[in-house]
Amino acid sequence: MFSSIASIQEAISQGKSAVEITKFFLDKIEHNSHLNAFLEVFESSAIKKAEEVDAKIKAGKAGKLAGVVIGLKDNICYKNHKVSASSKILEGFESLYSSTVVERLLAEDAIIIGRLNCDEFAMGSSNENSAFGPVKNPLNNKTVPGGSSGGSAAALAAGLCTVTLGSDTGGSIRQPASFCGLVGFKPTYGVVSRHGLIAYASSFDQIGPFTNSAEDAATILEIIGGSDEFDSTASPDKLPIYQDVQIKKNYKIALLQEVADTKGVDDEVLKGLQNFTDNLKSAGHEIEYVSFPYLDYIVPTYYVLTTAEASSNLARFDGVHYGYRSQDAVGVEEIYKKSRTDGFGPEVKRRIMSGTFVLSNEFYDAYYSQGQKVRRVLKNRIEEIFKDFDFILTPTTPNTAFDIDSVKDPIQMYLQDIFTVTANLTGHPAVSLPLGQHSNGLPFGMQLMGKSFSDMELLKFSQQIQNTNSNK
């Protein structure tokens, strides 16, 4: 119920009020509190906004998202509401302004219902790194929902919102979407403003939607995307209108040879990939294997560069300006040391230390400079592939959702991102589509990556795939 933007619009056209819809979700959130998806429910402001929306509907002045209930990942700022990046270091902090994406959603009469749990500072692949406890996958409460946007994925999969927003630095939207059976979309870098997103790695981070259809993802992207005077990395170019996009009858799709040869990929995921490619071929699309010999370099390069950026970005959280401050500290130096030691969790501290190491004078050239060079090599190779192909196809994840507290080795956890990080390193758009079902009962996704700024064409083609899949 109310699982799509169209279903909300239909309900309102039949006399349902935005207040009724909001109360429906508030009640459902309360009955699913065991998932730990929401860190805070904005009940009073959501009801107030819903009342305003109802008045606009009566006056015939309602926006495109009138009555659509949206949850925000807890690293997206909303004025006069708390935001913590799921970290103790931002304890009690209330945002002084709204992010650009929030302002644009509110302008179209979306109702923001709460902030959603995530891995601390968006660092993780399982949502077990939150200072406020892990999120449970609503499809199987013993398993993780994926990360870092696990709360956003779990909330949508459990039907607690119509749409949720997450951020994607190395797969943090697409991997949870795969684990929870959703559409998860990472736009081209620069299509969506990062103003008001608490930064992890600024040259990688991108805000994007979780939805139940590619069409809804496109609707949200049309609203939140576009240039922004507050973000110099936001592209000035406008994306085409989704409804105006014409897709080809036959596409040429590249399948990376090394993916099929990668150890550790679940056999049923590989079989699902084969079934999907067979279906695409049957529909008239051309599928070819291409070589991408850099697969083993992707994750190391990603972690060298993102930890360096994290080390720099997180220096501002010091126990002095705002947020958590150690009560045991005496003197300025101790305030810095003890506040950061107590305020950050283990994974965040691990990445800050790694980033500080790779940025140090002795190792800068050996690690950070080399990482930037490898990033360029990766981008060049992907661009070469896109000269001959329209899309690149891979599984989204090597496996389905794993049990909570079952992956102890950080390296094994980092390898969860092996298929998703390329799009962040190169800046291309990528979507995870819920196209597989494992014998263990859990879903898994297939990922399509498109050319830079082909976001709407990628989503239009994805919707065609979803429609074809649902008709079988």
Which residues participate in catalysis according to the annotation?
A: 73, 148, 172
Report d(CA 111, CA 154) in Å as an integer.
19
Distances (CA, A) of 286 to 156, 455, 472: 34, 20, 21
CA distance linking residue 244 with residue 49, whole number of Å: 31
- The DSSP line for 116-133 is E--SGGG--SSS---TT-
Taking alpha carbons only, the member of 115, 124, 33, 146 closest to residue 404 is 146
Handedness of CA 264, 270, 272, 277 (dihedral sign): positive
**Angle, CA 202 vertex, CA 198 and CA 203 arms, to 5°:** 155
Neighbours of 470 (CB within 10 A): 8
Q: Are 385 and 292 in contact (CB under 8 A)?
A: yes
Residue of 310, 313, 296, 305 lying closest to 373 (CA atoms): 305
Tokens of 154: 């779990």
The three-class DSSP label of residue 115 is strand
Pairing mode, if any, of strands 111-116 and 183-186?
Answer: unpaired
Residue 43 in contact with residue 164, Cβ under 8 Å?
A: no
Q: In b/e form, how buried is each residue of 230-251, taking b as 16+ CB within 10 angstroms?
A: ebeebbeeebeebeebeeeeeb
Decide if 451 contacts 466 (C-beta within 8 A). no
Alpha carbon dihedral 128, 155, 403, 256, in 10-degree steps, equals -90
d(CA 272, CA 201): 32
Name the packing angle between helices 214-224 and 455-470 (round to 10°): 160
214's enclosing H/E stretch is: helix 214-224
- Strands 252-256, 286-290: pairing is parallel
Which residue carries 């990766």 as its tokens?
A: 378
Q: Calculate Rg over the CA atoms of the chain.
A: 21
